[in-house]
Amino acid sequence: MSLTTLCLHCGLCCDGTLFTHVSLRRTEAAPLKALGLPVREREDGSAVLPQRCAALDGRSCTAYAQRPEGCRRYQCHLATALSEGEVSLDEALAVVDGAHALLASTGPERSPEVEDFLDRHFRGRQRRSPPCS
């Protein structure tokens, strides 16, 4: 339950802060389009779900049951630390609140220090990639 609490308090993996898109399997594009979500195509023909996700309402996913595999598999560093008992839920929530405050104070052009903070607590090895057309 605490992992769900953390995720519903955060939303950074869905709001465009951490990633520009979620890669989709071929079979995932049509059901997401049927939900009214904008699916884009990369130059190589593969489908992606652009981030900020249109299914995000506040910090909650309105398409949670139909979310793509990439969303199902993703677990940020902070969620891993929580699930492994390295941090308490209160500590993890404080990091999320700190991230939201930091982002609110910086605007769209984020400094390398802000990106490092996001990499360290949330992204890990999955760095932010360039936007898809």
- Is 131 a domain residue? no
The domain containing residue 85 runs over which residues? 2-123
d(CA 35, CA 50): 14
pLDDT tens for the 133 residues of the chain, in order: 688 899 889 999 999 999 999 999 999 999 999 999 999 999 999 999 999 999 999 988 888 888 999 999 999 999 999 999 999 999 999 999 999 999 999 877 888 889 899 988 998 655 555 555 5
- Is 133 a domain residue? no
- Is 110 a domain residue? yes
Residue-by-residue DSSP string for the chain:
-HHHHHHHHH-TTTSSSS-SEEE--HHHHHHHHHTT---EE-TTS-EEEESS-TTEETTEETTGGG--HHHHH---HHHHHHHTTSS-HHHHHHHHHHHHHHHHHH-SS--HHHHHHHIIIIITTSPPPPPP-
**How many domains does the chain divide into?**
1
pTM of this structure? 0.82
- Is 115 a domain residue? yes
- Is 21 a domain residue? yes
The residues, any chain, with a CB within 8 Å of residue 70's CB and separated by 6 or more, are 22, 23, 24, 49
- Is 128 a domain residue? no
pLDDT at res. 1: 67
- Is 7 a domain residue? yes
- Is 79 a domain residue? yes
pLDDT at res. 111: 87
